[in-house]
Amino acid sequence: MVKRIAVIIWFWTPVVLWMGLIYYSSSIPAEDIPKFDIPGIDKLFHLVEYFILGILLVRAFANSYDKASFKLILLLSVLIASIFGVLDELHQRFVPGRSPEIFDIFSDIIGSFLGALLSIHKERGSRAIDKAV
């Protein structure tokens, strides 16, 4: 039981903290956000932050459920990140000067999928190594 709690804290705390950071960033009014003269740079920011979220979710699921298939872990990770991305975009509707954008949601989904896929590849390798030893 203590080990289970330690696993939950160790692997899920980074997920919650990262989601909190994303939510906090989305709460910043538009006038307080630095402006960049690079077209589409905000989409890159979305892609990167959700890429990291995808990695963290796979890491948390893979270490919390030993018997879960990699397909299920991938699906759950991308699904949770995507739902969070949609909810975060809706939240921006209530932030001064911000509004939800469908292409931000697409960037969130693509980023979470790529991060989760990369992480699944890594987790597969580490499980294979663990079984071989």
Residue for token pair 């077209």: 39
CA dist 49 and 32 (Å) reads 19
pLDDT tens for the chain, 133 residues long, are 788 888 889 999 999 999 999 999 999 999 998 888 888 899 999 999 999 999 999 999 999 988 889 999 999 999 999 999 999 999 999 999 999 999 999 999 999 999 999 999 887 777 654 554 4
CA distance to 16, 50, 94, 119, per residue, from 23 (Å): 10, 12, 12, 23
Task: Parse the chain into domains and list their residue ranges.
Answer: 2-132
Task: Indicate whether this model's pTM tops 0.75.
Answer: yes
Assigned token pair, 106: 């697409």
- 66 alpha carbon, distance to own chain's centre: 21
